[in-house]
Amino acid sequence: MRKTTLITGGAGYIGSHTALQLVEAGRCVLILDNLSNSSRESITRLEQLSHSNIDFIEGDIRDAALLDEIFSTFDIDAVLHFAGLKAVAQSVRRPMEYYANNVVGTLNLCQAMARAHVFNLVFSSSATVYGEPATTPIVEALGTGKPANPYGRSKLMIEELLTDLTLADSRWNIAVLRYFNPIGAHPSGQLGEAPNGQPNNLLPCLTQVAMGLSSALTVYGNDYPTADGTCVRDYIHVLDLAEGHLKALQVLQAEPGLHIWNLGTGIGYSVLQIISGFEDVTGISIPYRFAERRAGDVAECWADAGKAERELGWSAQRDLTQMLIDSWRWQSNNPRGYSAQPAPLLAVGMK
């Protein structure tokens, strides 16, 4: 039996891009996803792009019996754990779902891993665990802060759970990857971000305006203490992020224990810079209007990615232009995400 990497949440945005890179690197993968925020079509696209069959199980990380069956059927040597709910506003309205899915789900996964004697884990954390950063760029050594919502707190709780596992049992090898703001898509235009329901993140909202699916972008706040008054973030191409996972997997096997790495570019862009950058690369005007600040937003958040560079030999390679081109190619090729249904195109002002 071939050694296999289990990818929870592998039908989703970041997991699918990472799965493709693993398969391209010659790894065997098994995807477990309950399709709560994704579609089986992403697996079909993965198979087309990789020219191989991808093992996929539709199921939930909270299903202990299913996990035991998976670990006894496949020769799994590592788990990339992407599965989780990530909509911040929804987490405020439905905290129990977030704690049950993210925290209890991760605990359940770790328990099944321990029963199967599989101790290599890479976890999708978020810069949200820093809360309001005291300084930027953010270094891992700053320590965590107070996340502003249940989603962020679920990520922090999981980080603490994973830390305790490594303290209690030296067999655990765990990489906690703190993502900054993933955007972009596979350059084929076949894989990308396709959340079920209304998007909340900047790029999906912006590309929906560019498609004419919504009339104007709402910019939350123009009175922040930043150069142009709008929030600054560290946007990172999803392919760079995916590459970070491959590096983390390699280093985990060589250097056991708990590792925490920021995955960002180290460059911050404001919301207005993203809008004008997008207009420049696509030639499409983006109407926008300013609104009140969004609850829980911090003024500035960008990474010091030096630790990942030193310890993983990884740094982000793709620039903002590439991120915006790839985001736009994905959105314009797939106006309804992975659904075949065509989008009702409205007139969009071209520059």
Which sequence positions are flagged as catalytic? Answer: 151
Measured CA to CA, the distance from residue 248 to residue 255 in angstroms comes to: 10
DSSP assignment of 147-170: -SSHHHHHHHHHHHHHHHHHHH-T
Residues of this chain, 163-182, that bind ligand UD1 according to CB under 6 A: 181
Q: By the 8 A CB rule, do 301 and 234 touch?
A: yes
Chain residues 16-45 in contact with ligand NAD, contact rule CB under 6 A: 33-38
Query: How far apart are the C-alpha atoms of 103 and 97, rounded to whole Å?
Result: 10
Among the listed residues 46, 61, 103, 122, the single contact to ligand NAD using CB under 6 A: 61
- In the bound complex, what is the minimum distance in angstroms from residue 291's beta carbon to ligand UD1? 8
The number of beta carbons lying within 10 Å of the beta carbon of residue 48 is 12
Q: Is 153 in the site for ligand UD1 (CB under 6 A)?
A: no
Partners of 125 in the β-ladder: 178
Across-strand partners of 5?
A: 29, 78
Q: Which of 10, 131, 150, 152 touches ligand UD1 by CB under 6 A?
A: 152
Buried b (16+ CB within 10 A) or exposed e, 224-246: bebeebbbbbbbbbbbbbbbbbb
Binding-site size, ligand NAD (CB under 6 A):
29
Q: Tell whether residue 222 is a contact of ligand UD1 (CB under 6 A).
A: no
From residue 276 to residue 315, the character string flagging contacts with ligand UD1 as x (rule: CB under 6 A) and all else as - is: ------------------x-xx------------------
Binding to ligand UD1 by residue 218, rule CB under 6 A?
yes
Please identify which residue in 100, 104, 220, 279 interacts with ligand UD1, judged by CB under 6 A. Answer: 220
Distance in angstroms (rounded) separating the CA atoms of residues 185 and 200: 17
179 binds ligand NAD (CB under 6 A): yes
Q: Which residues bind ligand NAD (CB under 6 A)?
A: 8-9, 11-15, 33-38, 60-62, 82-86, 101, 105, 124, 126, 179, 181-182, 201
